Each structure stands twice: as C-alpha cells, then as structure tokens.
C-alpha cells in the first residue's frame, strides 16, 4: 500500500480552497483538480509498504503540541498549483519531529526539503493567476497516517492511523 503522513484539513479550509478551485475553473484553469476530500498537507511521503505497523509504532512516540495553521499564497512547482502555508514554527517543528521518529525507526521516506503546501491542481494550464489565495486557518492537534488507493480510476486517500 502507498502511504504518507499528513495533516488533515478542517472543513473551513476545505470549503475555502474548494471555492477557489471553482473560481479557477470558471477563469479557464485546466488540469487535474484535487477532490475536496483529498486535500491535505503532507508532512512526509513514505511510498509503498507491505505493512504499516512499524510506522504506527514510530508515530506513537510523537507528542503533538497544538498550533495554528494559516493559508497564505498560491504558487507552482513545475506544473503543480498549490496553496502555501504561512511561516509557522509549530509546523516546522512537527515536520522535523515526524522525520526524526521515522529516521530512528529506520523507515524510508522522501527526504526532500519540507515545503508546506496543499496541492490543488496537477498538470495546471490556462489562466490560474487571477485573484487572491483562499483564506483560512485551523488548529492542528493531530496527524494522520494516510493510504492512497485507486478506485474507479481515481485516487482516494483514507486515514489508517492518527496520533
């Protein structure tokens, strides 16, 4: 199964981002839109695993200190359009701690630089640069181990563990 560790977004943030996606569609932005139920902020991408029990055990060592997460700007990385997150020491500490427990447990993950964002459109083309970024904020109190499945040709993300 394909897994990653993420912050699941509040309904308020999902509504705000979904509203922006509707605006973008009306203004001519094309691409593969991320469904509302799949919106999340990835802390660590792990990839294919046969069994997630070692990951669950490693994550139990975390003590999540609640913090506020706020949306900021929009931008692209290659052909992926994302919504950024305001600079946040709590978020940076959490991402570092997640990676430390994975390292300590010998769990392999994508060790690229942590750049907090919410992917909203893949293979974006057309007019996506008009208007402002969506607004929203939430308290982060836990994180989730998520799995990604293909159902009817679409990606479906579901939580398999939370800490």
The answer to whether residues 140 and 163 touch, using CB atoms and an 8 Å cutoff, is no
- Catalytic option among 14, 20, 99, 117: 117
Helix (H/G/I), strand (E/B), else coil: 132: coil
- Catalytic option among 14, 40, 99, 147: 40
The answer to whether residues 137 and 154 touch, using CB atoms and an 8 Å cutoff, is no
Cα separation, 122 vs 48, whole angstroms: 21
Tokens of 87: 């600079």
Secondary structure of the chain: what % helix, strand, coil (to 5)?
25, 40, 35
Q: Is 40 a catalytic residue?
A: yes
Helix (H/G/I), strand (E/B), else coil: 24: helix
Checking 91-95 for CB contacts under 8 A at 24+ apart, the result is 91/67, 91/116, 91/140, 93/65, 94/43, 94/64, 94/65, 94/67, 94/140, 94/143, 95/43, 95/44
Q: Is 22 a catalytic residue?
A: no
Active site residues: 40, 117
């Amino acid at each position: 199964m394909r897994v990653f560790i993420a912050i699941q977004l509040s309904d308020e943030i999902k509504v705000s981002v979904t509203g922006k996606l509707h605006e973008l569609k009306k203004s001519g932005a094309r691409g593969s839109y991320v469904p509302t139920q799949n919106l999340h902020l990835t802390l660590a991408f792990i990839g294919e695993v046969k069994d997630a029990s070692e990951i669950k055990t490693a994550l139990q060592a975390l003590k999540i200190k609640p913090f506020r997460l706020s949306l900021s700007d929009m931008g692209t990385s290659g052909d992926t359009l994302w919504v950024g997150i305001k600079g946040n020491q709590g978020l940076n500490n959490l991402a570092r701690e997640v990676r430390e427990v994975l390292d300590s447990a010998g769990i392999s993950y994508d060790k690229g630089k942590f750049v907090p964002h919410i992917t909203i459109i893949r293979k974006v083309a057309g007019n996506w640069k008009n208007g402002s970024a969506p607004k929203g904020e939430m308290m982060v109190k836990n994180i989730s181990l998520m799995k990604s499945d293909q159902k009817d040709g679409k990606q479906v993300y579901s939580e398999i563990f939370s800490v």
